[in-house]
Structure 1
Amino acid sequence: MFGPGHNGGPVMIADATAALAFVTAQAYRINQTVYETRYPDWDFGRLIYVETEGDPWAPGIMTYLSDMSGAANWQSGAAKDIPLADVNQDFQLKTFHLAAIGYQYNIQEVNAAIQIPGGTLQNRRAKAARLAYTKFMYDLTLFGSTEKGLGGVTNYPGVVAAAVPADGTGSVTWWVNASGVGTKTPAQIVRDINLGLQGISLATYNIELADTVLLPDEALNYIAATPYSATTMETILSFVMRNNLYTLRTGRPLNIRSVRELGVAGTAVAGKGRMVVYKNDENFVKLHLPMPHRFLPVYQDGPLNWQIPGIFRTGGVEMLTTAAIRYLDGISETPS
């Protein structure tokens, strides 16, 4: 099809069929490239086990839980009853929800690309869609969704939340104040971390141990840069990595990560830093993602526009037991 050019000459405008074929081919190439790109800033997979198995269109998943009870005891040979063991069974139902983010092109962008030999459509919008999905899932993993009634790793209902001891300078709870000045001794900080690890061990009768600690940026930065004592260049963090309950019992390194959003997540000490201590194991906590983000085929949603929808389905975070996670609040004071 032709239209008048700037100087009155004909300018070719691709018809709808040709434009659709061009956008479809370009979207396929762009989507492949975008899915190969990693976005570490919002890498929710490093925080929690992500379960992607199963039917992507299933309405949800039912998890069956069981526990054993009963204890052996001394018995008389003349007794008419004996202690009995039993198995208690329960289940949890997790509903999956649909969410979406896509991108689009208009007729001007498509024709500009077609008329240039070897022309291509820009992939910025596809990257933006992929980043929006990653940010959505990262926030869902951390904080859940009030709209869908979902909890996250940092605020899951039923998890014990307590303040660390208020024995810092000026009887404060935090390790470092808003000015970056330490208010607790290295020994007190190591104790606070081990309190979280110990809490999970005691709650599970010394069967389970937490292997992951999430800290606000301010807290992790402080212990990573501060010497443990005046006579050594070892930092508080390196000392913690060697002298924590998990490492001492298992010989494996404790996983310590920073999460910026934890700086104001505390509730036991409102608005202050929260430390999250948990066992990152699929048998205890997982993120349901039966359908990771996928782009659907191109379709023309108007006379001058082509859209590439993107969809995903998730059930959010599920904790099969809250005994393997603890919240300890008040460990940092966020700069104003």
Structure 2
Amino acid sequence: MPEINFADAQQAVGFIAPQLLRIETEVYQIRYPSFDYARLMPVNLDGDMWEVGTVFYSGDIAGQAKFLAGGGFDMPYADIARDQFVHANHFAGIGYEWQLQELQRAAKLGRNLGSEKAASAVRVSEQFLYGIAIRGNAEKGLTGLVNDPNVPATTVPADGTGSSTLWSAKTPDLINRDINATLNGVTNNSGETEIANRLLLPTTRLQYLASTRIGDGTDTILKFIRENNAYTAQTGQPLEIIGSRELETAGASNSARMIAYANDPTVLQFHLPGAHEFLPAFQKSSMTWEVAGIMNVGGVEIRRPKGVSYVDGI
């Protein structure tokens, strides 16, 4: 294969551009389930890489009907009380680079460039977004799904063995009560305008419920809860129960936290107007080519905090 002169821009682009196109196509087909924030909440992709933020309005009805005389002039009127909010986006990036030696060797051997560097950049970007979705980002003043200060938070009763709050020290009945109280917290705190259809548990607690039988029967605590919970009783629909390692120490004093919430974009959503993408490669020095990767992220927005409930100490 003729040697490619990487000092010649046209020759260099002729080799690198199709190589990177293949790499990007291959890499973006990879899925990273361990950082799958979309499994936990709705993701809003509206906008683009250059959007500065999202404006939304939260409104409620105002007015009260009254009794009238037949010829009265005091007709009461309904109106709408509306507040405007702005949710900012933040520009971020992670890319990779190629050294001249790597490019020359690939060209001489007629081989494709490896996709490992691009895959690493994408994986780091997904990990970055996942961290923002779960815990937020202190530098940008963001909070996430598990630590929004506006969400009502409480601790389960300390009525287990030895006045413990832990489920490992409680009976199945007490555990079921704790879970239903968490689900009912959303309904009651929101004045019955929201209903929790998802329960997020620490992974170890979900494993405990799934592996612990009730008495000498064949039913596990988890099976009983799936069939006997406040959401299913109200709607006839199955309650979605998901385990997450992020809840093991998310509660007060690093205790385990469970979260019940209405999985609905009107309650909460993760803003990602600009998903991670690679820019065209450019030569940044005599022996280095850079491929920048950029993204635009707004983070988690819990629009209706009372549609979510945090309960700690389990």
> Which interval holds the TM-score relative to the shorter structure?
over 0.9
2:296 paired residue number:
313
Provide the rounded CA distance (Å) in 2 between the counterparts of 1:63 and 1:315: 13
Whole-Å separation in 1 of the counterparts to 2:125 and 2:48: 20
Answer yes or no: is the 8 Å Cα contact 2:88–2:298 preserved in 1: yes
3-state DSSP of counterpart to 2:232: helix
1:170 and 1:216 mapped to 2: Cα distance?
23
TM-score by length of 2: 0.94
After TM superposition, the runs of 4+ consecutive aligned structure 1 residues lying more than 6 A away are: 76-80
Contact 2:100 2:288 in 1 (8 A): yes
CA separation in 2, counterparts of 1:55 and 1:120? 32
Offset, 1:20: 3.6
SS for the counterpart of 2:109 is: coil
Q: Where does residue 261 of structure 1 map in the other structure?
A: 246
> Which of the residues 252, 265, 269 maps onto 1:286?
269
How many equivalent residue pairs? 311
Contact 2:3–2:107 at 8 Å: present in 1 too? no
Distance 2:51 2:227 in 1: 44
- Residue pair 1:167, 1:173 contacting (<8 A) in 2 also: yes
TM (norm. structure 1) is: 0.88
Partner of 2:280: 297
Do the aligned residues in 1 keep the contact of 2:4 with 2:12 (CA within 8 Å)?
Answer: no
1:204 to 168, 185, 190: 190
Whole-angstrom CA distance in 1 between matches of 2:17 and 2:3: 20
CA distance in 1 between partners of 2:124 and 2:180 (Å): 36
> Is 2:4–2:107's contact at 8 Å kept on the other side of the alignment?
no
Q: Which residue is 1:85 aligned to?
A: 78
The 1:254/1:12 distance shift into structure 2, 3 A limit, reads: same
Q: Does 1:155 align with 2:147?
A: yes
- Aligned to 2:144, the other structure's residue is in SS state coil
SS in 2 for 1:150: coil
Structure 1 position 215 matched with structure 2 position 186 = no
Aligned counterparts of 1:70 and 1:189: Cα–Cα separation in 2: 43
Match of residue 28 from structure 1: 21
The reply on whether 1:142 has 2:125 as its aligned counterpart is no
State the Cα deviation string for residues 205-232 of structure 1 (Å, max 9, x = none). 22321111111111111001111232x2
Q: Distance in 2 between matches of 1:187 and 1:129?
A: 47
The secondary structure found in structure 2 opposite 1:36 is coil
Whole-angstrom distance in 1 between the partners of 2:101 and 2:285:
13
Cα deviation, residue 73, structure 1 = 5.0
- Between the aligned partners of 2:151 and 2:3, the Cα distance in structure 1 is 64
- CA distance in 2 between partners of 1:42 and 1:202 (Å): 32
Q: Which residue of 2 aligns with 1:126?
A: 118
Deviates more, 1:270-279 or 1:66-75: 66-75
SS of 2:28's equivalent?
A: helix
How far 1:82 sits from its partner (Å)?
6.1
Contact 1:66 1:88 (C-alpha < 8 Å) held by counterparts: yes
Which deviates more, 244-253 or 217-226?
244-253
Secondary structure at 2:165's aligned position in 1?
coil
Root-mean-square deviation (Å): 1.9
Q: Which runs of 5+ in 1 are unaligned?
A: 1-10, 176-181, 332-336
- Contact 2:150 2:305 (8 Å CA) reproduced: yes
2:232 to 224, 231, 247: 247
- What is residue 224 of structure 1 aligned with on the other side? 210
Measured after TM superposition, the shift of residue 37 of structure 1 is 1.0
8 Å Cα contact 1:160-1:327 kept in structure 2: yes
Deviations 1:247-304 (A, max 9, x none): 122222211111112111111xx11101111111111111111110111001111111
Residue 6 of structure 2 is aligned to residue 15 of structure 1 = yes
Cα pair distance change 1:264/1:107, threshold 3 Å: same
Q: Contact 2:270/2:300 (CA < 8 Å) preserved in 1? A: yes
**Contact 1:19/1:111, CA 8 A, preserved across alignment:** no
TM-aligned CA deviation for residue 55 of structure 1: 3.7
Q: CA deviation at 1:77?
A: 6.4
**CA drift at 1:315:** 0.9
Q: Which residue of 2 aligns with 1:3?
A: none
Displacement of 1:244: 1.1
Q: Percent identity between the aligned chains?
A: 40
Higher mean C-alpha deviation, range 183-192 or range 48-57: 48-57
Q: SS of 2:248's equivalent?
A: helix
Equivalent-residue separation in structure 1 for 2:128 and 2:254 (angstroms)? 23
Deviation at 1:96, TM superposition (A): 0.9
CA contact (8 A) 1:20 1:300 kept: no
